[in-house]
Chain A
């Protein structure tokens, strides 16, 4: 560790930990070491997860909940075992509250469709209101726009303050007796903001509205306790937390999952089927029509084991230290403006910024030539760019294997970008 990094506390032993991630050894563009700072888009996969995936396909691959043969029973046990692991990871009161989906988008869409087809008291119709926020990922905007268009329900949202936080000053006007559902992001993927869950949940509970929390950028980075959140639904995805792509999670309170109707119909989700009608399996299977992503669920289970073995509180501490260091270094770069909270308090490990008039695409391209991977664009949160009057941002996002040295490399890279276009 160099002199500049002394005084940073709470860091994980990244030297040892990075050996778990084969891809971090990659070099590109004539021998430049990969500096992977696009973790909010997807995280890298540790050997421990890759091995479990390989072993699944080499030893246990079968369809689940159907056959009586050995492989089918092993695959089923592994799949359901992954559900147990996820349930424990998020402190769910019951494993039956964990629904596997293909990603967080599907989880969010699933809730929107449950509510669209539900009977009273959950039904969303033209006399009711839906509440979201201006900092949502498109996956937590568009499903609600669709539901609003189909049912006539009014779509409302919380705006943003200039420093990248939710403006809750009008909370009593936004969430009203007509509100059926409040859906918001726990940690913003573009601003990095950690939102004040308690204040929103309290108001939603006052008016009897359901609460859905998009925890896609929270589950990988901090301890997630669905009971402490007091939400009704929590959505997140596997590939941002060291798991494979193609697996997401929707947690929902058991009584709601019992009451609410299924969305996708098919195999696996039924009890009995006749040509006239069907009865449904109990949750979670009621919401898992068709062959599920078995290997991916098993991989997510392995990712949960991996993260737990390191400790989510330690990961959160590490990322906080890295983020604090990054904010400090970024503020030294001329013309760099952080879009979102310009502090490490109540913020996650994703930092968006602009660099003078240089377009983020150009920033990203010149950084890429130095082996540095960042995300550029509107990050599927275009309303945030509109709110701050910018076409796009460059985003650096960190994870448990990110190092202060990588922040230094990024800052040097940004100097190079400025010289190139200056």
Chain B
């Protein structure tokens, strides 16, 4: 069934057993909503220099938005900011591909469990659900690190 390409087992697993859920100490907190469906997330980031020490979150919403937050936590915690930005960029590219991007090995290596969201990109109404936590993370990071974020982004692009 076509639906299985959206609701991959990996996604359902993250939905039912979310990683790192709950709010913990952080350097910045943001609250993002998806106005079309009422998905909400409160997300905090904690940095140790440029290393992501923690991403904690609390939210309500559909399986896609909640699983995506769990995958984000699993992927980004412990990474350096530049590496995390790279992952976020690849995930964004995948989600905006309208189902036309077939993830290759290189992409899978970067995104790990997050490649399971490839099927979601075919459903325009659901892409925002998948991106909610990632946009919240980006926003929280900008607030926590300020100018450092832009510097890291510029460095990544020139590297």
Contact = CB atoms under 8 A, between A and B. Distances in A.
A361 B64 contact: yes
11 contacts: A29-B2, A359-B61, A361-B61, A362-B63, A365-B6, A365-B123, A366-B3, A366-B7, A385-B38, A391-B61, A392-B38
A165 interface: no
Interface in A348-404: 359-362, 365-366, 369, 376-378, 382, 385, 391-392
A385 B15 CA distance: 23
B38 A365 contact: no
Contacts of A366: 3, 7
A391 B38 contact: yes
A377 B38 contact: yes
Given A366-B7, A385-B38, 14 more contacts: A29-B2, A360-B37, A361-B37, A361-B39, A361-B64, A366-B3, A369-B3, A377-B36, A377-B37, A391-B40, A391-B60, A392-B37, A392-B38, A420-B7
B35 to A, nearest CB: 9
B84 to A, nearest CB: 27
Given A359-B62, A361-B62, A362-B63, A369 B38 contact: no
- B interface residue count range (under 10 / 10 to 19 / 20 to 34 / 35 or more): 20 to 34
Contact of A378 (B6, B7, B15, B38): B38
Nearest to A366: B3
A78 to B, nearest CB: 38
A57 interface: no
B1 interface: yes
A361 B40 CA distance: 13
B12 interface: yes
Contacts of A382: 38
Contacts of A361: 37, 39, 61-62, 64, 126, 129
Nearest to A422: B16
Nearest to B15: A421
A35 to B, nearest CB: 16
Interface in B22-73: 36-40, 60-64
A391 B39 contact: yes
Given A376-B37, A378-B38, A420-B7, A369 B2 contact: yes
A190 to B, nearest CB: 12
Interface in B88-116: none
A20 to B, nearest CB: 30
A189 to B, nearest CB: 16
* Residue from B6, B62, B123, B126 with most neighbouring chain A CB atoms (10 Å): B62
Contacts of B37: 360-361, 376-378, 392
A362 B40 CA distance: 15
Interface in A6-37: 29-30
A392 to B, nearest CB: 4
A377 B3 CA distance: 20
B9 to A, nearest CB: 12
A391 B61 CA distance: 7
B135 to A, nearest CB: 17
Interface string B121-139: 0010010010000000000
Contacts of B61: 359, 361, 391
Contacts of A421: 12, 15, 63
Given A29-B2, A369-B2, A420-B7, A362 B62 contact: yes
A362 B60 CA distance: 13
Contacts of B15: 421
A29 B2 CA distance: 8
Nearest to A376: B37
Nearest to A390: B38
Interface in A77-135: none
A359 B63 contact: yes
A361 B37 CA distance: 7
Nearest to B125: A361
The 6 closest A-B pairs by CB, nearest first: A361-B62, A359-B62, A391-B38, A369-B3, A392-B38, A377-B37
Given A378-B38, A382-B38, A369 B126 contact: no
A421 B11 CA distance: 11
